[in-house]
A and B are shown apart, each in its own frame.
Chain A
Amino acid sequence: MSAGLSVHDFAVVSNEPAADGLMRIVMAAPELAAALRPGQFVNVRVPGDASQILRVPLSFSHADAAAGTVEIVYAVVGDATRRLSEMAPGATSTAVGPCGNPWSEVVGARRACVVAGGVGITPVVACARMLAGSGVAFDAVVGAQTAGRLWGADVLEGLGAGTVAVTTDDGTAGRRGFTTDALADLLAQGPYDVVYTCGPEVMMAGVARICREAGVPCRVSMERMMSCGFGACATCNVAMVDGTYKSCCKDGPVFDAEEVAW
């Protein structure tokens, strides 16, 4: 069970475009900010439409205990995230959290790589902060469909990433192609002790395969449709290789890539 799991009030500090289709919200929620660990998520009530009853589960990029704020970079994909994007500074609502388990650090790891695709960048930035704080050297791969949708490469550089490889599907920024290609090249230059990834499931499956072939442990952050975010509804199941299901919200969202039935 997450320490401090509760319904937290928050107030919007800022809510601005981060890239095409991506928004960056900073919310003031001191207790939540202090309780969150990188890789966990929050389940946000977005006001404005009583007919949309469920919360929106969102990963965060930075939980700043000192400032009492939580930063979330989110994609505007439906009605609820559109309404979230319209919340002005000072607007208030609630968030359930901390939900789920944090990224697991690998004991003795000295070199890591983080791989982000699309809005998967959000928990990957949180992961990079964790690695920087623990003194683990890391490289990064950041992929997006096109240059306009990229966010976070400069943030990762600022956090001390060695190499930051950028890929876009259309070649408008960085290398044309997929994050998996860039990861394979980085792995060829030298081993990592662990790889952390979040992005589209097909991308994470590719990252997991490359890591398995290279004998590198891989941690993935999974996404599912879910109702509660804290283990009550049993709707966010992830299929495991042993034939069982695990809960994305309570057993995850971070899994060992070897456990997941891709």
Chain B
Amino acid sequence: MGEKSVSMAVDLGGVRMQNPVNTASGTFGFGSVFEDFFDVARLGAITLKGCSAEPWAGNPAPRMCEVPSGMMNTVGLANPGVRGMVEQYGEYLAGLEGRGCRVIVQAAGHSVEEYVAAVELIEEHCPWASGVEMNISCPNIARGGALVGGTPESASEVVRAVRPRVRRPLLVKMAPVRVPEIARACEAEGADALSLINTINGMSIDVRTRRSRLSKPTGGVSGPAIHAIAVRMVWEAAQAVKIPINGMGGVTSWQDAAEMILAGATSVTVGTASFYDPTCAADVVDGLAAWAAEQGVTDINELIGAFEC
């Protein structure tokens, strides 16, 4: 097949990955739980579950329900806090970096101050991390729950506050709204790469009880149901900015991943699929290499944005 001859390494805004495959925050735990299924070091990178400065308990049950071709969640960013994460998983994650897989730590917050506190702790306690991803799709408590990154102005504000405090590559995980404008705003404030898309807000109602099927009225839809929307948004973002895109949304196979790359993603992230197909990310690594060889390129980078209309 000649797969060996294709160079698979990519540079995601300074995060130098051995291949383009990453895992989505909140779908891969802190990595170690997947070692039972495959050698996690085969992946280009993993992105950790979002951590805030202090632990968050998250939302009550039920936190998930099924929808056609997908699922919805309202986990509420339950996490052990940066220090708790480092205590439990720091040694494993430092080792994973040593094994060749890049570790991206995700910062969560409900306000500019909370993001700053989280990234300062990450800078202090996670020397092994290759990058920091800031999730700006969280609700801003002080602004009535509007998304922290829901407008170009609010995205600019939080990226501007955080950027000088992060010495490593800074990725911004965008909400799936106003993509070109917010992408440009994040780039202008110094983001090194953009991750998109996050889940799309949805609702599911039990018509007998008239209640939400989640413990909150709304939740994030993920899975194959949102893939076509995600490819379109990745393409829009790639048109709008020069910084690299970390593309995700309903990627369940190498074909889905290849679509993301053609639409302009430098790296591709497997999310919800890992829940029901735990080896999916590893299988995507293999499938992409075979696809690149079949496409006749010697470097996967030649296929980034190679979509032809």
Contact = CB atoms under 8 A, between A and B. Distances in A.
B161 interface: no
Interface stretch (A65-73, A121-129, A222-230): A222-230
Contact of A232 (B57, B64, B78, B274): B274
A214 interface: no
B90 interface: no
Dominant secondary structure of chain A at its interface with chain B: loop
B66 A228 contact: no
Interface in A208-252: 224-228, 230-239, 243-245
Contacts of A50: 69
A227 B36 contact: no
Interface in B75-133: 75, 78
Contact of A5 (B29, B36, B60, B276): B36
Contact of B69 (A51, A226, A235): A51
B26 interface: yes
Which range contains the number of B residues in contact with the other chain?
A: 35 or more
B75 to A, nearest CB: 5
B200 to A, nearest CB: 16
Contact of B71 (A2, A54, A230, A238): A54
Contact of B276 (A2, A45, A51, A236): A45
A50 to B, nearest CB: 8
Contacts of A52: 66, 68
Given A1-B36, A232-B33, A237 B276 contact: no
A203 interface: no
B49 A54 contact: no
A43 B277 CA distance: 11
A202 interface: no
A245 B56 CA distance: 10
Given A230-B278, A233-B73, A225 B64 contact: yes
B57 A244 contact: yes
Contacts of B26: 233-234
Contacts of B34: 232
A188 to B, nearest CB: 34
B70 A53 contact: yes
B55 to A, nearest CB: 9
A232 B27 contact: yes
A233 B58 contact: no
B117 to A, nearest CB: 22
Scoring A5, A50, A55, A235 by chain B CB atoms within 10 A of each residue's CB, the highest score goes to A235
Contacts of B306: none
Contact of B58 (A6, A228, A237): A237
A50 B278 CA distance: 17
Which range contains the number of A residues in contact with the other chain?
A: 20 to 34
Nearest to B29: A232
Contact of B61 (A5, A43, A237): A237
Contacts of B229: none
A235 B37 contact: no
Interface string B252-295: 10000000000000000000111110110000000000000000
A247 to B, nearest CB: 10
A132 interface: no
B62 A224 contact: yes
B149 interface: no
A7 interface: yes
A244 B69 CA distance: 32
Scoring A5, A53, A234, A236 by chain B CB atoms within 10 A of each residue's CB, the highest score goes to A53
A53 B250 CA distance: 11
A51 to B, nearest CB: 5
B235 interface: no
A152 B269 CA distance: 46
B145 to A, nearest CB: 21
Contact of A239 (B27, B60, B78): B60
A227 B78 CA distance: 16
Nearest to A250: B33
B66 A54 contact: yes
B78 A245 contact: yes
Interface string A37-61: 0000001010000111111000000
A23 interface: no
B266 to A, nearest CB: 25
A96 interface: yes
Given A53-B224, A224-B61, A231 B278 contact: no
Interface of B: 26-29, 33-34, 36-37, 49, 57-58, 60-66, 68-71, 73, 75, 78, 223-224, 252, 272-276, 278-279
Q: Which 5 A-B pairs rank lowest in CB-CB distance, beginning with the nearest?
A: A235-B64, A228-B275, A5-B36, A227-B275, A235-B63
16 contacts: A6-B36, A50-B69, A55-B276, A96-B278, A228-B274, A228-B276, A231-B29, A232-B34, A232-B278, A233-B26, A233-B75, A235-B62, A235-B73, A237-B60, A238-B61, A245-B78
Given A5-B37, A232-B278, 14 more contacts: A1-B33, A2-B36, A43-B276, A50-B69, A53-B69, A54-B275, A225-B65, A228-B274, A228-B275, A232-B28, A233-B275, A234-B63, A236-B63, A239-B61
